[in-house]
Amino acid sequence: MPSSASLFTRAQQLIPGGVNSPVRAFRSVGGAPFFTRSARGATLTTVDGRELIDFVCTWGPAIHGHNHPRIRAAIAAALEHGTSFGTPNPYEVEMAELIVKFFPSIRKVRMCNSGTEATMSAIRLARGFTQRDKIIKFAGCYHGHSDSLLIKAGSGALTHGHPDSAGIPAAFARETVVLPYNDPAAIAAAFAANPGQIACIILEPYIGNIGFIKPDAGYLQYVREACTTHGALLIFDEVMTGFRQARGGVQELEKITPDLTCLGKIIGGGLPVGAFGGRADVMDYLAPLGPVYQAGTLSGNPLALAAGIASLQMLEELNPYAKLDALGRQVVTAALAAATAKGLPLQAPQTGSMFSLFFTPTPVRDMPTALASDAKLFGKFFHACLAGGVYLPPSAYEAWFLSTAHEGAAIDRACEVIASAIKSL
């Protein structure tokens, strides 16, 4: 089998940057990416034969670990009947029933093919429903790469130093009001400056795309009340957090009811999928019932939904959230202890199976405080962990993810490597 080095050389001749998603390129941490041959449980196996404990988990979907036999069996069973039909199929109805069951705010749901499609479509729907053009988003929140949302974005855009993408017309950007996260006064000022013009607020209720950041106490409730007061819709982007923080997402934990919710990741069980849903009166503005057009040839793909249904059913049966939270606390406790012993400032926000490490003395609560962390030191830490057999997100500005497969030897070994890497800095 070709080595990672030779594959990357070939890829760079054919694929921009040699990768099909920018953060995979290792540009912010240095070095060249490895190529994965296979994955199982908590472990990736590279084409070079290395086994790595994985804290990326396909950027969120692999909550049960990689290549879970039950998900694989569900895909195989669906494959017996075909790969795509271009007609409605039974899996679509079953998935809709599961989503509505676990998310009380969602009364109707539309499937699509990615988180980007979900957020893009939810924004269009909000504009169509309210008959308003402007939207509010927050600096550092990443909602996919559609034009209205790739402004002051997080994730790979921030990692590579381009939170504002080229190719977005100024007229589009003017319709997007970008505010600091965790700042209620900024929301009040934005509504006052744009009376009757704001269609919606979209946010990650727990941010995962400038690292993992939680809202201040009462902040999400303030956002909800502001939207209600000013006739704007509230959109929760729970593409990362949906079914990962809880079966009902962050909105279950925080007891907030958004008007629309965007989902993805886990509901595909490792295959490409997205969804958005919410109030029935809003969702009925979608074609074929209403004037807001949205479509997709592969939306509701039977293989993707079969995988996602199996994943959601296991979450219902196993209810692994307390276990995942304990695993997350084990990692951050080990990291903080090592940092204290070394005399390094470290912030380690964590809830459930999502967390981040920021090398900074200042608590991280928004984009500026995230950017104040030491990204160069993180790069050294990343490579020390990789040398020890632990794969982290290759960016100082991404959330880490855990799976149920990390329990036991994998988490113990990972904690040892992470602590050793911190002490080596």
Pairing relation of β-strands 354-355 and 274-278? unpaired
In this structure, are residues 28 and 393 in contact, taking their beta carbons and an 8 Å threshold?
no
Burial label for 255, CB within 10 Å (0-12, 13-18, 19+), is exposed
Beta-carbon contacts of 202 under 8 Å, excluding residues fewer than 6 positions away, are 119, 122, 123, 135, 136, 137, 141, 143, 149, 235, 237
Which residues participate in catalysis according to the annotation? 142, 237, 265
DSSP code string of 198-248 = EEEEEE-SSB-SSS-BPPPTTHHHHHHHHHHHHTPEEEEE-TTTBTTTBTT
Q: Which of 404, 387, 230, 238 is nearest to 317 (CA)?
A: 404
Query: What are the C-alpha distances in Å from 240 to residues 377, 382, 384?
Result: 26, 22, 27
Q: How far apart are the first and last CA of the chain?
A: 35
Taking the C-alpha atoms of residue 303 and residue 38, their distance in angstroms, rounded to an integer, is 20
Peptide bond preceding 288 in cis form (omega within 30 of 0): yes
Taking the C-alpha atoms of residue 157 and residue 140, their distance in angstroms, rounded to an integer, is 9
